[in-house]
Chains A and B, each alone.
Chain A
Amino acid sequence: MCYNKTDDNMKGRIFLKYDAQDCKLVFSQNLTDTIYDFRLRNKELASITKPGQFVQVLVPGKTLRRPISVCDIEDDAIRLVFEVRGEGTEILSHTKTGENINIIAPLGKGFELDPTKKTIFIGGGIGVPPMLYSARQCGANATVINGFRNKDAVILSEDFEKAGCRLIVTTDDGSFGIHGFVTQPLAEIIDEAEMICACGPTPMLRNIAKMAEEKGVPCQVSLEQRMACGVGACLGCAVAVKDGNGGTVYKHVCKDGPVFSSEEVAW
């Protein structure tokens, strides 16, 4: 349902920031046994979505929506790549093409990107998809380092190459690409970076943040937290950030993030 935005009461609204709307699932495929690739058609919401933002997906029968980062925008569709982790994402994965999915989108503060700057995008596991739309903005200035558990978990390589990025893949077990963690290739190329953007497990982000700080390279990280409203009202998804006076304050992943400056985060 959509409230009549042209109602007189809405005078003063300058632009649509986000909304809850139905989107038709126009394409779906499996990227691995547990990772799904959905395209949700909604021209209005797709047109205002920026790299690094997320959506809150309504799951039938569940009280809380599932926050999922936007993987890419393709014309009038929002592309979501998500992993089945629990009951909610399991139910979501059974949605059939042609059915509607209700999302609140776009949400949060995404990556601040300068396409003229040499930017390294780093994704770990299911932290890889949010980097695609972001890396595309930087094209040939983007170097992408994607880390996975093993060869079977590797996803989206062709998409990053099509986006014109230089791609480096690592696997924990060496079954594909470089044997090791994303921080190994990062150490070799960090000196040429003017910006780092990363999404993935907290230990990975913490290590990247440390390396970026040592080299004086600005670094943005996309964080996760258990979330309820998704818009900044309930204050559920708290994350501790430095207050500048040696202490910490709680900000919120849904509204202040999900992307934070790595220097701001109280690791």
Chain B
Amino acid sequence: MQRMKLFLAASAMAGLLSVGASAGNADLVKQGEKIFNTKKIGNCLACHAVNGKNINNPGTLGPKLQGLSAWPAEALYAKVYNPYTTNPISAMPPFGLNGVLDDHQIKAVVAYLKTVK
């Protein structure tokens, strides 16, 4: 049972890590981009411009995203899931923790963010 649990945990992690790598990823990236740019879903453009992407009137409440392709996928996931671990009065909502975006949606956003140079 313990080994089973470890195996499942490892493959879940591997699944997360492979998000940036696999070629069949293109669909997930597209989903993530939609979540990023849609007001009624993630609405990330409300606060974030993105380096190298043509975002429609992004806000300035958050930093312009760049160099994210170098971030580990888990770090990107954690940030979108709950940014308050670093700053308790962050202006960025905890999209995962507070039930806005589910696990699949955050993975899609992470796939998109991994394409940001």
Are A and B co-members of a single complex?
no
